[in-house]
Amino acid sequence: MTGKTLLSLHDLRLDHPRAGILLDGVSLTLERGQILGVVGESGSGKSLTGLSVLGLQPTGKLSGRMIFDGQDLTRFGEAEWRGFRGKRAAMIFQDPMTAFLPVRRIGPQIEEQIRLHMTMSRRAARARVIALLGRMGVPSPERMAERYPHELSGGLRQRAMIAMALSCDPELLIADEPTTALDVTVQAQILTLLREIGARDASVMLITHDMGVVSQSCTHVAVLYAGVVIETAPVQKLLATPLHPYTQALLRAIPPLEGPRPDRLPVIEGVPPTPKTRPSGCVFAPRCAAVESRCQTRPAFRERGDHKVACVLYP
């Protein structure tokens, strides 16, 4: 059930002392029950946005506001972050290899997080770990819980990491490419689980390159380019009528499911700017086929109901 804002980001900027401005004014809103797909090319700032919400961004100056259920996360101290991460918000990281301590077994690591945030006996926490691993499709979960991370395949580590993220029933789940290294059957299970999380009034920020995953699982979409949000909309509206030239180009690059296969898929000419070479105007202007003189100024969001786009083509 949607309707109450859980997370809102206002003009979020991350200025790294050596790399430059990595996030340049990111503004997003996520309501309870929504599954927000965050899409864009590699290096567009998708993962950095998710990490910033958990206070895990790289060294640099973070400005703007991050409001979570009425609390300003940018004012959190380390003790407040420890109580927030894992309990109220959790993240499925992109790399399952580094998600666990290599010298401890999988089960006790998940169990430790449960007992840290929930009033539960060791036996009850252990039972919850086994149930979570089983729910993620881990075979023989009792036996797998006693294994070290290096003894599990990449897919099993990914499932165990998702189990850890969900172990305390967080209100916000940030999933960074959660179906990486999983076969098609398990991917479908994980996507079904994400939809169930949204159905119980929690929220999901799904970071992905896969527009098929977005269309199956998300309620809303935000498109990032070079650290800037350029378009947001309900998922079906964006897929049916993308407004920004970059979003249109992304969708054109998806192979068709029906009809003859093209000899060559359309590509977006050029390369994204680096943080130090980001244009002062529209960030997509150097690669845009519809560029004009007005694009030398950074466009404000134009609103068409619940569809917003940062492009001068729309009055």
Q: What is the CATH number of the domain that holds 49?
A: 3.40.50.300
Exposure string over 294-311, b if 16+ CB within 10 A, otherwise e: ebeebbeebeeeebbbbb
Whether residue 29 lies inside any domain: the answer is yes
- pLDDT for the residue numbered 186: 76
Cα gap 86→81, rounded to integer Å: 9
Residue 1: which pLDDT band, with cuts at 50, 70 and 90?
Answer: very low
Q: Is residue 164 part of a domain?
A: no
118, 170, 213, 229 from 190: Cα distances, Å: 24, 16, 11, 27
Number of domains in the chain: 1
Q: What pLDDT is attached to residue 3?
A: 62
What rounded mean pLDDT belongs to the chain? 90
What DSSP designation does 85 have? B
Residue 123 belongs to some domain of the structure? no
The residue whose two tokens read 């990111």 is: 26
Q: Residue 185: which domain range?
A: 5-88+170-309
Q: Domain for residue 109, yes or no?
A: no
73 within domain boundaries: yes
Residue 200's pLDDT is 77
- As beta bridge partners, residue 229 has 224
What pLDDT sits at residue 99?
82
Least confident of 1-10, 29-38, 120-129, 275-284: 1-10
Is the separation of the CB atoms in 126 and 110 below 8 Å?
A: no
The pTM of the full predicted model, rounded to 2 decimals, is: 0.91
Whether residue 128 lies inside any domain: the answer is no
Residue 181 within any structural domain of the chain: yes
Domain annotation covers residue 101? no
Asked which of 185-199, 242-256, 272-286 is least confident by mean pLDDT, the reply is: 185-199
Q: Are 294 and 312 in contact (CB under 8 A)?
A: yes
